[in-house]
Amino acid sequence: MNEKTGTFPEPALRLEEISKSLGGRLILDAVSLDLRKGERKVLIGPSGAGKSTLLQCVNCLVLPDRGRIFLKGEELDQSDNRALRLFRRRVGMIFQDFNLFDHLTALGNVGIALQKVRGLPKAEAESRAVEELARVGLEGKASMYPAELSGGQKQRVAIARALAMDPEVILLDEPTSALDPELAGEVLTVIRDLADGGMTMLMATHQMDFALALADEILFMEQGRIIEQGVPSLLLAPGSGTRTLDFCSRLALGAEGRI
């Protein structure tokens, strides 16, 4: 088990007052957060709270209107496209709907960025891709195309693809919510292995039991703001009266449905 917040000295990722409006509406309202090396934080909150937008603001897939982003203490210059690309290489991203490259095999999906972005020779990129596929338990599927893989396998390829870039932080946006429960399990196992390996993670999820087992801290988001945060055992203590507890118990009752 991982020690709790406070024992991670090194800052990995820091967001300061990130704001974003979309379609004339304020979607993120001055959100700040800190992630230290090896730390795992889980974003929860109702659908539409802004979790996906926040995650995509971290690596500027959605450009924040305001706010500062730091990786290992260095501030990212959001207006410098080259700096942005270098930054994105260091921050892995896992999407809810996998977003595999449809024209490439599992091996190609994992290898292409190694070749084209990191500039590895083809053979080296391939052997690294083979390794990463093995790490997520897909050594036998290297030559399969996305359409030939199950949802769980697709998401594991996506994880291997992110890991191959040796990211310092991984962002996961509801990595299992597009999956049937029996397929979600295999993805959760991979994510748990990653966590055990000391990966720094920021993850949005509705999988509460998993979040509890994994999270050093829970961030509860609503209407573009983090309104509660803390270690799971405190936020979710029976009778604590937190919004988080209320949300989670409704989630458990299925009131929120699959989001």
CA distance 203 to 258: 17
- Which helix H or strand E contains 133, and what residues bound it? helix 122-135
Q: Within 11-70, which residues bind Mg ion (CB under 5 A)?
A: 52
Residue 19 Cβ, how far from ligand ADP at the closest point, in Å? 13
- Please, are residues 55 and 252 in contact by the beta-carbon 8 Å criterion? no
Among Mg ion, ligand ADP, another protein, none, partner that 207 touches (CB below 5 to 8 angstroms by kind): none
Chain-centroid distance of CA 222 in Å reads 18
User: Does residue 207 touch another protein according to CB under 8 A?
Assistant: no
How big is the CA angle at 244 (ends 242 and 247), to the nearest 5 degrees?
115
Sign of CA dihedral 76, 111, 127, 160: positive
**Candidates 19-27, 80-88, 152-160, 230-238; binding stretch for ligand ADP (CB under 6 A):** 19-27
**Candidates 14-22, 25-33, 72-80, 113-121; binding stretch for another protein (CB under 8 A):** 113-121
User: Does residue 93 touch another protein according to CB under 8 A?
Assistant: yes
**In this structure, what token pair is assigned to residue 34?**
């800190």
User: Does residue 116 touch another protein according to CB under 8 A?
Assistant: yes
Residue 259 Cβ, how far from ligand ADP at the closest point, in Å? 7
Beta bridge partners of 28: 20
- Please, are residues 181 and 213 in contact by the beta-carbon 8 Å criterion? no
Residue from 102, 121, 241, 257 that binds another protein (CB under 8 A)?
Answer: 102
Q: Which is nearer to another protein, 102 or 182 (CB)?
A: 102
For β-strands 66-71 and 11-22, DSSP reports them as antiparallel
Interface residues with another protein (CB under 8 A) are 56, 59, 61, 81, 85-86, 88-89, 91-93, 95, 97-103, 112-113, 116-118, 145-148, 158, 161-162, 165
